[in-house]
Structure 1
Amino acid sequence: MQAQDLMVTDLATIRSDESLVEATARMMERKLATGHEDVRCLVVVDESERPVHVLTEADLIRAILPGVFRDPNFVDYISRWLASDLPQASLNEMFFDMARAARRKTVGDLVLDKPLVSVTPDASIVKIAYLMHQERIKTLPVVENGVLVGMVFRAAVFDVIAREILRNREVSGGGSLPPPNAD
């Protein structure tokens, strides 16, 4: 089983100079168009359309949470506030204010800090699973000669593993799961 057997080829891209508003809209449109949660990511491409990063939901969430939210003392303070009987409305409003402020940011403001982790179409499922685990990523671009040709989602890797684990096991409702694709 190789990347080319698992990859999705209908991908959405975005440039680093585009706004987070556009990125958010494109992610939501992709989710609605496909009906899959997995697709809420965009491949960030440079001016030559070469992939340089994968913009994820996590990147967008981090964009609205300034460094103070990553400070353990502040996190402890907020945790105590949330556990208390104090009104939550002002905390919620602060969060939404930060989300609105993020509208002024571009994709390039939040990404490009790490090199792109990618595979070639002939990468094995073992390599794909290893990289996803090691890099703590859910999406892995498939690149050939510098050109984006697809994306492997963690859910596809799980499906292959699940089919192998459950091979020949009866499933509820009768029948059995089909075997995974042959290599």
Structure 2
Amino acid sequence: MKARDVMTRPVVSVRAGTTIREAIAILTDKGFAALPVVDDAGRVIGLFSESDALAATSGADHRDDPVSTALSRPVEVAAPTDDTAAIAARMLRGRLRCVPVVEEGVLVGMVARRDLLRVLVRDEDVVAANVRSLLDDYAGSTRRWSVTLRRGAATVTGEFADEAERRVVTALVRTVPGVTSVQVGPVHADLAWTD
């Protein structure tokens, strides 16, 4: 499974000039562990975490200072194509609660511990049922394919009219959270279109 499969989006972020007071309000209101701080182009320049908020407000009152004075740097980031197991290992090693996901330098999502844990607790029967429901909807509420799921690997068997339909089904199944890979049966020779 990849970061893009589990990341939270759209991302709530703040700019460097946002006050610490405003950033704390967002953290507490949304229940986030940290907020990405971005520049005008949407590039991550730091994270503002609960720990940063506590440090900024202990002692002298700095709540009206810009968040740029209290953010954590450097920031560990991930790409949408990074494997979630590798991200989890990095988070454990660095004691990180969340990791911004960037594409071409621009923030596109966040992966938090809860996002990774959510995947682990998904019952495969629920994931398989979600795949079946999606495929039944695609097929006009008829059951055309059988679905099995083992450790996130989905196998779809049945008859496909042509290679295009096989590719569409593969793409649809990949969109279901909890599916890590897809194996789709071959096009049925009797149903294949001919010109």
Q: TM-score, normalised by structure 1?
A: 0.63
Determine the structure 1 residue equivalent to 2:90: 131
Determine the structure 2 residue equivalent to 1:116: 75
Q: Distance in 1 between matches of 2:39 and 2:25?
A: 20
Determine the structure 1 residue equivalent to 2:23: 23
| Cα RMSD (Å) | 2.3
Note if contact 2:27-2:35 (Cα within 8 Å) is conserved in structure 1.
yes
Q: Percent same amino acid among aligned pairs?
A: 30
Q: TM-score, normalised by structure 2?
A: 0.60
Q: Flag the structure with higher strand content.
A: 2
Q: Distance in 1 between matches of 2:35 and 2:90?
A: 19
Render the CA deviation track for 1:90-138: whole Å, top value 9, x for unaligned: xxxxxxxx5xx122322111125x2110110011011110111111111
Determine the structure 2 residue equivalent to 1:63: 56
Q: 2:44 aligns with which of 51, 54, 68?
A: 51
Whichever residue aligns with residue 136 of structure 1, its letter is: R
Whichever residue aligns with residue 107 of structure 1, its letter is: V
Q: Distance in 2 between matches of 1:47 and 1:159?
A: 32
- What SS does the corresponding residue of 1:104 show, helix, strand or coil? coil
Q: Distance in 2 between matches of 1:20 and 1:55?
A: 9
Gaps of 5+ in 2: 126-150, 153-177, 181-195
Deviation, structure 1 residue 51: 1.0
Q: Distance in 1 between matches of 2:2 and 2:35?
A: 22
Q: Distance in 2 between matches of 1:144 and 1:104?
A: 32
Render the CA deviation track for 1:44-66: whole Å, top value 9, x for unaligned: 01132211112111210121235
Q: Flag the structure with higher helix content.
A: 1
Higher relative contact order (Cα pairs below 8 Å, separated by 6+ residues): 1
Q: Structure 1 segments of 4 or more deviating over 6 A?
A: none
Whichever residue aligns with residue 105 of structure 2, its letter is: G
Gaps of 5+ in 1: 32-36, 67-97, 169-178
Q: Distance in 2 between matches of 1:26 and 1:161?
A: 28
Q: Distance in 2 between matches of 1:48 and 1:3?
A: 22
